Chain A
């Protein structure tokens, strides 16, 4: 067993395929194909990529909302899934330590439950209180932690604004005092002025409670702000993983490079002087994955080797991992 303090979560060669029926045949859609990474306690790993790259699926597979096709997931020193050793643990005790915050604060809260019941549900499931009064006190404390007015405990979700609803979702995740939270695009649905409030809250909570985050988002500037390290995914594969500032300032993979240059910078002078690297075409369908490197169809450096062999994620020094033959 590995050193318990080193990683809170370790994912090795995770594969998540979904069966797609196409006529009489069933073909696998490879949403996540051989992804490995690890997260230290109290660390934030940002996960970025375009829609359909499998970033949300990674988050959900870790929490075992999907049954992974293959790979190994180790949480806090315990193997919770291993396809080779046929380990497939009951998740209930682990869900107390790993939680999720969803993208859409409108559809992730039950409209027929009061805020008190939404936040109280994880407490009920894991039996974390002795009596009604303790349950109530815990809920009020959680609401205050996320900056909600405790008087509003008996209201329904629709009576709150988008930012406040996201706070309810965060309070629900915090209820069981987890060690690790998967944040799946938690600020994408919020207005710019509200985004900063929620980003700051995530940072404060992490400082107070020492939680680790897997922060999934497509907004690179937000991810850079909140993350210690950033992983870039493309078509179910991990292309690059590095320290946040290192990745943003010295991207190595051609995909990361073009992704970063495509981000519109909110500064007119920089915008006028910078040159966008425009990628040709669209992301290929994951049902018809290119051979070799998944990015080669849009890559201007692609060679024959890229078409034949898939590059492995290799360390280029200081933990900067890149999967590319040419760089």
Chain B
């Protein structure tokens, strides 16, 4: 049965949204693989399609959204073809998600305990009493103090960090294989962010789930992820291990992004910003999505979408510059 290498494989995924201004291609043919127990980071700016990718995997897109092509393989099975019933079992039991804003993703009129038990009763064969015990157990696991008292409280009685812990407890209550975290710490202060990130790493060690971390924060990505996908304009620019992306970036966008952020070492120097404005998905360029803002753009970048080429065993990038460099070095045989 266990004849898969990856717990999740996304192949040529396309997601579109119908809007009054026309069809928006939010995700445009992306590929990635997730190994069991590993952490994958998806990084990009607003509108890059990183959240839509996560929602597409869970099939929780808005009504006007639709997976228009591609496959999402969970343990080798294509879940895009699954019916509603099978999908609702998939969510929670196989794959869970936590959102950016823990206040709006918890229901304000039910107690924390009720909301935790709901997920447990839905996905497991536990009785009500067992579910209650499990809820307390989960809150203890995520480091909520006085869990017996907390289950009777409403979300507004908890602080932001506590609410995010409750969300994580809820997501992990049915022991999923994959946890998707969509900007889990963006709404939190740095000291609370550090607590939550530490907690997620600890839980991963204990429970062994794989994590997909969706964020715009390169700092969070660097400290959490084994592998990284950089997205721009609904496409994958570059993917590889954390070291590949940070120390030998092979896409002009990634390079620009790394140059533009302040770090502890470049405080005296001037930042090198990426020019232009973020992409408008309704008005996508014909070629590479990044080419209107790219300093190195060539003729071919304007007209043709670059294909993903392999830089090393773990490292892939979709940028014409790499092909140009290969020709210049005289070893272009593909």
Contact = CB atoms under 8 A, between A and B. Distances in A.
Contacts of A192: 45, 216, 218, 257, 260-261
B147 to A, nearest CB: 15
A262 B220 CA distance: 10
B257 A193 contact: yes
Contacts of A272: 223
A29 interface: no
Contacts of B190: 50, 218, 220, 259, 262-263
A34 interface: no
Given A163-B277, A196-B261, A222-B262, A264 B193 contact: yes
Interface in B1-52: 45-46
A308 to B, nearest CB: 25
A20 interface: no
B77 interface: no
Given A191-B46, A192-B257, A225-B262, A278 B217 contact: no
Contacts of A304: none
Contacts of A103: none
B218 A266 contact: yes
Contact of A193 (B45, B161, B217, B246): B45
Contact of A197 (B218, B247, B258, B273): B273
A100 B145 CA distance: 41
Contact of A266 (B162, B197, B222, B275): B222
Interface residues of B, number: 45
B272 interface: yes
A161 interface: yes
Contacts, number: 130
A195 B221 CA distance: 18
B159 interface: yes
A199 B272 CA distance: 10
Interface residues of A, number: 43
A44 to B, nearest CB: 12
A224 to B, nearest CB: 5
Contacts of B194: 261-262, 264, 276, 278-279
A262 B271 contact: no
Contacts of A282: 159, 161-162, 192
Contacts of A262: 190-191, 193-194
A259 B191 contact: yes
A267 interface: yes
Contacts of B195: 278-279
Interface in A185-203: 191-197, 199-200, 203
Given A194-B277, A196-B273, 7 more contacts: A195-B261, A196-B262, A221-B264, A225-B266, A267-B222, A270-B222, A282-B161
26 contacts: A50-B189, A50-B191, A51-B189, A161-B278, A192-B257, A193-B256, A193-B257, A193-B274, A193-B278, A195-B261, A196-B261, A196-B273, A196-B274, A224-B262, A258-B191, A263-B190, A264-B194, A264-B217, A264-B222, A264-B223, A265-B223, A265-B263, A268-B242, A269-B243, A278-B191, A283-B189
Interface of B: 45-46, 159, 161-162, 189-195, 197-198, 216-223, 242-243, 246-247, 256-258, 260-264, 266-267, 270-275, 277-278, 293
